[in-house]
Amino acid sequence: MDLHAPLGQERKDKKPGKGGTALSSLASALAVVSLAGFSAWTALSPANLRAVPPINLTPAPPETAEAPDTLASREPQQEAAGIVRSGPNDGAVLRRTTTPDGNVVTTFSPTGRQGPVIIGTASTQDPRLAGQPNEDLIELTDAGGLPAVSASGLRPVDFYARPWSGARGTRIAIVIGGIGLSQTGSQKAIRELPEDITLAFAATGNSLQRWMQEARRKGHEIVLQVPMEPFDYPANDPGRGALLAEKTAATNVANLHQAMAQISNYTGIMNYMGARFLADDKAMDPVMRDIGKRGLMFLDDGSTARSLSGDFAKAIGFPHAYADVMIDAQLDRQAILAKLDELERIARRNGQAIGVGAAFDETIAAVAEWRNEAVARGIEFVGVSALANDNSP
């Protein structure tokens, strides 16, 4: 008996069969050779053993600029605890803080400006900064600062737009133009009209920067009126720097830029006169392309049925709006109120309507009175950009 065998087992003498030792040695040798060969193959062909990476269907952004995105869809880069940037060139720093009840509060601080601003989205301007331009939406040129789309795709028409409820009820936008042409008229319009009335600044006006800042701080959305050639030019002259059908494309674009540089913080361009110019496709083409590439809306005052502005907006792909009613063609209080009632009928039929007028005392008084009554009837007044067709591709 083998005393070293496990308890309850007897180890019997095993005699290897014929060739057993040789087979065992051969198997061991083969195993060593196989392992050595596998190791050599691995060393020589490492790529064959690497895991195949997943296919990324999202195109890689260019190395020189971050791909356009939005805060809602991107994974922001953490710069510090709770701090992210909305985009590489938007001048926006966001701080997200989680409250004890689990809600996330987002604060927005423009780069180079003082104080955080609480907002709902990063695409609209806070009223406390409304008199100051977003530096990322300005292109510095020989003509001055011009509107521009930011590197991350933010457009002036979006950033400077007046916020609205988002409800799909009956909506009206009223645009009062000629701001800057008369000091008393400009002051009266800015201070007496409700903040949800859009103001149109005449590029040929005076003290536009001061009026712009006051209007924006009050809460008004603003557009810029650019003089354009009417059919009876020069007997009816829209003013200096007017865009003329017979001028070269370079001259008209240069005059457009001179007008654009007068102020900032506007959502779009509106024609002042311009029946002939708006009907000339060759003259319109370079001007509309420049407006579109700068992220602006074009507001057509609706004074001519021959206007091609809507066709260009659709073809190029930028926001566009038509005015439905000129409310003060007859400068009389009762006549203006009648036109405003017509505007409401159009809005109730179509869901929305746009009225345009000028900063006359009679117009300002009638609009302020009628607007308050219309609100009581369930009308929502919005900035004109809210009623534009975007036409973006």
- Domain segments of the chain as ranges: 83-147, 156-387
Residue 336 to residue 342: CA distance in whole angstroms:
10
pLDDT at 129: 85
pLDDT at 351: 97
> Which pLDDT score, from 0 to 100, does residue 392 have?
85
- Letter string b/e over residues 230-256, b meaning 16 or more CB atoms within 10 A of that residue's CB: beebeeeebbebbbbbebeeeebbebb
Cβ neighbors of 387 (< 8 A, separation 6 or more) are 171, 173, 321, 352, 353, 354
> Residue 298 has what pLDDT?
98
Q: What is the pLDDT of residue 385?
A: 98
Out of 3.10.20.30, 1.10.10.10, 3.20.20.370, 3.40.710.10, select the CATH number for domain 156-387: 3.20.20.370
Q: What is the pLDDT of residues 257-276, one digit of tens each?
A: 999 999 999 999 999 999 99
Residues of the chain with pLDDT under 50: 1-24, 26, 32-33, 38-96, 102-122
Residue 28 pLDDT: 53
Residue 290's nearest CA partner among 323, 333, 260, 245 is 260
Q: How far apart are CA 34 and CA 364, in angstroms?
A: 95
The reported pLDDT for the residue numbered 124 is 73
Residues 6+ apart with CB under 8 A from 343: 172, 174, 324, 325, 327, 353, 355
Q: What is the pLDDT of residue 283?
A: 98
Express as a percent the part of the chain with pLDDT over 70: 69
